[in-house]
Structure 1
Amino acid sequence: MLYAALLTIIDQELNAKVRPAHLEYVDQLFRAGKVVMAGPFTDKQGGMVIYKADSMAEAQALAEADPVVKEGARTLELREWSPLELPLANG
């Protein structure tokens, strides 16, 4: 299952300090097959990580261990995500 983590910056200074650890963490999870994609929003107010996990509990644990969340630089909104299979068969 896929889970979308919306990470909104609430402390710009702390975020700048913790961001290198966040990027390293996301890269490690990508290499382990637990992150599908990730990146910042163009408004520079946060970003999104798409996790691949067996359960919401696993995705929640992965997201909460992210340094930007753990250190309080960003809020976390985690939602199960079901991407469309495109193109649609009858479209």
Structure 2
Amino acid sequence: MNRYLVMLMRRPQCDPAVVPLHRDFLETLRAQGRNEMSGPFGDKSGGAYLLHADSLDEALAIAHRDPAHTSGGWNVTVHEWLVA
């Protein structure tokens, strides 16, 4: 599996009630062995997680199921991360 950095940046319309759903989603990914690490940015502007997937298309499909994305409260970008 490859690694993908999923970055989430809060939008003004971000609903705080979605945060527990997002955390549950990340915990499910962790239990599946797909979420290597995750956490918020110190300035509260968003956060990131390191996702394991077979391809960029699969990583995008997973990230787009994240409640942070489906709620419309965060901008989500996915980058393949080539660890040196």
TM-score category, normalised to shorter length: over 0.9
Q: What fraction of aligned residue pairs are identical, expressed as a percent?
A: 34
TM-score normalised per structure 1: 0.87
Once the two structures are TM-superposed, the CA of residue 12 in structure 1 deviates from its matched residue by 5.5
1:79 equivalent in alignment to 2:79: yes
- Aligned pair in 2 of structure 1 residues 5, 13: CA closer, same or farther (>3 Å)? closer
Match of 1:43, SS? coil
Gaps of 5+ in 2: none
| Alignment length (residue pairs) | 83
Q: Residue 23 of structure 2 aligns with which residue?
A: 23
How do 1:1-40 and structure 2 match up within 5 A? 1-11=2-12, 13-14=14-15, 16-40=16-40
Q: Tell me which structure has the larger Cα radius of gyration.
A: 1
Aligned AA for 2:81?
W
Structure 2: distance between partners of 1:70 and 1:25: 12
Kindly provide the CA deviation profile for residues 9-68 of structure 1, in whole angstroms up to 9, marking residues without a partner as x.
003651x11000000000000110111110000010000011000000110011000001
Structure 1: distance between partners of 2:26 and 2:59: 13
Match of 1:30, SS? helix
Structure 2: distance between partners of 1:23 and 1:31: 12
RMSD: 1.0
Contact 2:14 2:72 in 1 (8 A): no
Gaps of 5+ in 1: 85-91
